Amino acid sequence: MAETGLFALYKLHLIDSALYEMKTRAASLDVGRGEAEEIKKLEADPEGTLAASRALSSELKDLELEQKSLEDKLKKLDSDLYGGKVVNPREVENIELEKTHVKDHISRNDARILELWELVPPAKEKASGLEGQISQLKGEIVKKQTAAKEEHARLQAAYKAEAAKRPAALKAVPEPLLTLYEKLREKLGVGMAMVTDAHRCDTCGLPVAEKPFDAVVHDKVVQCEGCRRILFRLQQG
């Protein structure tokens, strides 16, 4: 039955389809692209969660700093006033006025600080929820990439081992069958297809009519009407 070299080609095909499958798998390893997409969306902060939390926190920090300098200023005005240096009533009046301004400013700041003390914690909590989500996704990516790297190395080794079997299998296939097969393989990735028990091409699914089916069974080179692959059927027994 090995007259036309179809069985030898089948053996080559088994090696080639294993190689093809490994290549496809290596190309589609999950390196966390979905997670990276998700991170991008979250980091864009569409609801302004991160921005709001940052703005409130920095406003609070600025106000607390300002309060400190206003308190210092008040102390300085007091010491000017009661230190005995200033005696001129006009000057005393000016200092008193300035003290009033500073005190007003302090109490306005105090009111806003009290508000911020209420606003900052929930905003921070919301932001840290989002940040937690982002860092969890980053962790997922690291995990996936580590696994992908391992799988890639494994596939590479398996590919090398399988590819080493190819030259011997290649030599067993006569021309012009080999050239036809290689052309198809180059174009389609896989050059041979099996005919199923239901008389169909197992790759494209097209039915194989009775005549070509008989030809395949009788070890003739027949190409699938649908995908052009060389058809083959393992003989029973």
**Least distance in angstroms from the C-beta of 213 to Zn ion:** 13
Query: For residue 210, how many other CB atoms are within 10 A of its CB?
Result: 9
User: Is residue 227 a contact point for Zn ion (CB under 5 A)?
Assistant: yes
**Least distance in angstroms from the C-beta of 212 to Zn ion:** 11
Name which position in 123, 192, 216, 224 contacts Zn ion (CB under 5 A): 224
How far is Cα 182 from Cα 23, in angstroms, rounded to an integer?
A: 17
Asked whether 63 and 116 are in contact (CB, 8 A), the reply is yes
User: Is residue 204 a contact point for Zn ion (CB under 5 A)?
Assistant: yes
Residue closer to Zn ion by CB (options 12, 216) is 216
Name which position in 192, 201, 222, 230 contacts Zn ion (CB under 5 A): 201
Beta-carbon contacts of 22 under 8 Å, excluding residues fewer than 6 positions away, are 155, 158, 159, 162
**Least distance in angstroms from the C-beta of 7 to Zn ion:** 19
Residue closer to Zn ion by CB (options 145, 203) is 203
Query: For residue 192, how many other CB atoms are within 10 A of its CB?
Result: 23
How far is Cα 164 from Cα 56, in angstroms, rounded to an integer?
A: 65
Stretch binding Zn ion (CB under 5 A), from 9-17, 35-43, 121-129, 218-226: 218-226
**Least distance in angstroms from the C-beta of 223 to Zn ion:** 8
Query: For residue 232, how many other CB atoms are within 10 A of its CB?
Result: 20
CA 231, distance to chain mean position in Å, is: 40
How far is Cα 123 from Cα 107, in angstroms, rounded to an integer?
A: 24
**Least distance in angstroms from the C-beta of 16 to Zn ion:** 16
Residue closer to Zn ion by CB (options 127, 193) is 193
Tell me which residues touch Zn ion (CB under 5 A): 193, 201, 203-204, 224, 226-227
